[in-house]
Amino acid sequence: NATEGLPVYTAGQELAQGIEGIFGKKVDLDVDLATAGAGKSNGKGKGNGKGKGKGNNGHGHDRDTTATVGTVAAYVDSNPGAAAAGIPELADDGFYLRVSRGNVLILGQNERGALYGAFHYLSLLAQGNASDYTLASNPDAPIRWVNQWDNMQDGGTHGSVERGYGGDSIFFWDGKVRDDLTRAGLYARLLASIGVNAVVVNNVNADPKTLTPENMDGLARIANAFRPYGVQLGVSLNFASPQTLGGLDSFDPLDERVVEWWRDITDALYERIPDMAGYLVKASSEGQPGPLTYNRTLADGANLFARALKPHGGRVLFRAFVYDHTSLDEDKDWKADRAKAAVEYFDGLDGKFEDNVVIQIKYGPIDFQVREPASPLFSRLVRTASALELQITQEYLGQQAHLVYLAPMWKEILDFDFRVDGRPSRTADILNGKRFGRRRAGGYAGVANVGTNTTWLGSHLAMSNLYAFGRLAWDPSSEPESVLRDWIRLTFGDDPKVLDVITRMSMASWPAYENYSGNLGIQTLTDILLGHYGPNPASQDGNPWGQWTRADADSIGMDRTVWNGTGFSGQYPPEVAARFERIETTPDELLLWFHHVPYTHVLKSGKTVIQHFYDAHYEGSAVAQTFPRLWETLRGRVDDERFEHVLFRLEYQAGHALVWRDSINNFYFNKSGIPDARGRVGHH
Ligand code: GCW
């Protein structure tokens, strides 16, 4: 029989509960669970107490319904004839689904896959698909993790969430793991329904106290809450822990005592959590300790953990977000450029990493801006697995107070073609290992930052981003708009008007936000010194954070060319480098990322840079003005609670978009002295 607390058992429960929920009445459903227990398969067993009976198959008449859910191996074992019956070869976590006259067969390559299959079946049923069909689905890449940036406490008792806009941590309180982890279990359920298979629960700016024996016990309780949904636990580490927590006088990754300390900690964790996913490490970045403290390489740092994890089958996700935020000087050095840091720090290290190391790379070379070119590091790690780090939490993108549907932006990154060796080399095909023929596991990490707020993320509509993350990580060829429409139907039902309005607003939202914040690749222009929220273009320059615009009275933009600038464009493979090197071949949307030009420079569109700024800010904020009016047309079609919650935010966004428009336009008018040709900004 399926083991209670493991995914196949959960799948049986979800099916019974889900079908009842969809049809709005109790449906007798015979669920057979097929799993293999400890080496021997015991095939079909009776499900979770439901007897065989009349089921409603969605066609409106009663009929016996049986659902069989389990692993392929167990099913074939107990139904020897089934092997030949067309069950395709599945990848890890993949599933096979066959619906025929009310009988449902759901088989996973493993237990987790069976649960994913059950959720997929329910998702189609909930969207009105009650037909017969057969399908198989496999994830594009094995790593589909979310990262929570949760603090154990924040000075007071709170477990706050860094860049979280949905309340306190669901995991931590007062320096410890919470007693009540009900919400952690619900979070795992939410994530399993979109194919996410691990959560790193604590902030990458990690507290060494995470690893006290008491807190390791607590982490084990979180892992227990996740396990029924096939979600594994990951832990962020503080590189200096052997010293700050362990009392050693060093945290040098090559010091034998340090190696041993990490080995012991890792063993102690696996004793409590045998299926732990592994570690996430932010090192030598933004003041965090790391191997560079001892003049060791990032590979020395990553391998330290990889070796400790290897006997347990764990992985280390080592972040490429490595840079020094104290030493860059904009005034003294025209070639200084934070965007170059990742490639420089990882230079010469490809091939030096243990095979259970995955380099986790933010989508762009700076920091989750509204528009960045894909990080060139993806194209340079040929023998080392990589994962794409996306930010579901909207740190620079309106902090959940603005509607910004991010999947279209992510899609551009996934489809970006690096042309390595002159051949097609899309980001997605690098992540899944195909492009470089890597067998090593790569994939996706989404910074999610849910909290105790009942909406999880602080906004009902922001949930489309978490949903889309899961769907794209499973299948990066998915279309953002069709993913969105699935999410809307599953969240708000199948009213075509609701579908139409939320689709229109969401699809217009990223271009609008880009237009009223920072356009032409200049970066988002939020305040970068305070909360990364609201307009403050002046804050970008004159400090060592390196998010510079180099705007003066005549010209603007970062010259990142090889011939005259920082040389960043040369980090791309030759074809792409050549395209970004020249103004003529750089797309307008990235012009100021790569080039420093006069405000009067004429774009491909025929407008000057400054006029584009003015127009875009008027256009983007005008789009935001339409959101509350569009949403108003749904009054009565969406329940009052969600209706009002969303309306409040959209009205706020419409107002804030005007603040953005006028601050940015006035700022650049004051800098350049060039009035708006249409008379809206400055004086004639
Ligand atoms: O985007 C920046 C954030 C920090 C974050 C850091 C990182 C967790 O402002 O809050 O720290 O990046 O990604 O490490």
Ligand 1: does its nearest atom lie under 6 Å from the Cβ of 149? yes
Q: How far out from the chain centre does Cα 159 lie?
A: 22
Band (101; pLDDT cuts 50, 70, 90): confident
Question: Where is pLDDT greater, at 46 or 647?
Answer: 647
Ligand 1: does its nearest atom lie under 6 Å from the Cβ of 204? yes
> What is the predicted pLDDT for the residue at 305?
98
State the pairing for strand pair 315-319/278-281: parallel
Atom of ligand 1 nearest to the CA of 362: 13
Ligand 1: does its nearest atom lie under 6 Å from the Cβ of 325? no
CA angle 48, 50, 52 (to 5 degrees): 135
Residue to mutate (ligand 1; options 154, 160, 163; most atoms within 8 A of CB)? 163
Atom of ligand 1 nearest to the CA of 447: 13
Q: Whose CA is nearest to atom 11 of ligand 1?
A: 205
Quick one: average pLDDT of 356-374? 98
Ligand 1: does its nearest atom lie under 6 Å from the Cβ of 533? no
Q: Whose CA is nearest to atom 1 of ligand 1?
A: 367
Ligand 1: does its nearest atom lie under 6 Å from the Cβ of 111? no
Catalytic residues: 286, 367, 395
The rounded percent of the chain whose pLDDT value lies above 70 is: 95
- CA–CA distance, 144 with 655 (Å, rounded to integer): 37
- CA–CA distance, 230 with 188 (Å, rounded to integer): 8
Atom of ligand 1 nearest to the CA of 204: 8
Structure tokens at 658: 């005007």
pLDDT above 90 for 588: yes
Residues whose CB falls within 8 Å of the CB of residue 650, separated by 6 or more in sequence, listed in order: 403, 505, 627, 628, 631
pLDDT digits (tens, 9 = 90+) for 543-574: 999 999 999 999 999 999 999 999 999 999 99
CA 274–ligand 1 middle distance (angstroms): 30
Helix (H, G, I), strand (E, B), or coil: what is residue 88?
A: coil
Residue to mutate (ligand 1; options 281, 322, 361, 395; most atoms within 8 A of CB)? 395
Distance between start and end Cα atoms, the chain: 81
Q: Are 553 and 584 within 8 A, CB to CB?
A: no
pLDDT digits (tens, 9 = 90+) for 107-138: 999 999 999 999 999 999 999 998 999 999 99
Ligand 1: does its nearest atom lie under 6 Å from the Cβ of 207? no
Ligand 1: does its nearest atom lie under 6 Å from the Cβ of 261? no
pLDDT above 60 for 345: yes
Atom of ligand 1 nearest to the CA of 532: 9
CA 504–ligand 1 middle distance (angstroms): 31
Quick one: average pLDDT of 514-526? 97
- CA–CA distance, 540 with 45 (Å, rounded to integer): 63
Quick one: average pLDDT of 58-63? 44
Helix (H, G, I), strand (E, B), or coil: what is residue 133?
A: strand
CA 512–ligand 1 middle distance (angstroms): 25
> What is the predicted pLDDT for the residue at 48?
36
pLDDT above 50 for 52: no
Ligand 1: does its nearest atom lie under 6 Å from the Cβ of 368? yes
pLDDT above 80 for 592: yes
CA angle 276, 282, 288 (to 5 degrees): 135
Ligand 1: does its nearest atom lie under 6 Å from the Cβ of 321? yes
Ligand 1: does its nearest atom lie under 6 Å from the Cβ of 367? yes
Q: Whose CA is nearest to atom 13 of ligand 1?
A: 321
pLDDT digits (tens, 9 = 90+) for 333-342: 999 999 999 9
**Residue 121 CB-half CA count within 13 A:** 36
Band (25; pLDDT cuts 50, 70, 90): confident
pLDDT above 70 for 238: yes
> What is the predicted pLDDT for the residue at 57?
41
3-state secondary structure 26-57: CCCCEEEEEEEECCEEEEEEECCCCCCCEEEC
pLDDT digits (tens, 9 = 90+) for 630-656: 999 999 999 999 999 999 999 999 999
Ligand 1: does its nearest atom lie under 6 Å from the Cβ of 205? yes
Q: Please count the helices (runs of H) and the strands (runs of E) in the chain.
A: 18, 20
CA 474–ligand 1 middle distance (angstroms): 25
Structure tokens at 104: 């449902």
Band (4; pLDDT cuts 50, 70, 90): confident
> What is the predicted pLDDT for the residue at 683?
64
> What is the predicted pLDDT for the residue at 2?
76
Instruction: Tell me the whole-structure pTM to 2 decimals.
Output: 0.95
- CA–CA distance, 48 with 210 (Å, rounded to integer): 37
CA 12–ligand 1 middle distance (angstroms): 40
> What is the predicted pLDDT for the residue at 83?
67
DSSP secondary structure, 338-365, as one string? GGGHHHHHHTT-TT-S-TTEEEEEESSS
CA 205–ligand 1 middle distance (angstroms): 8
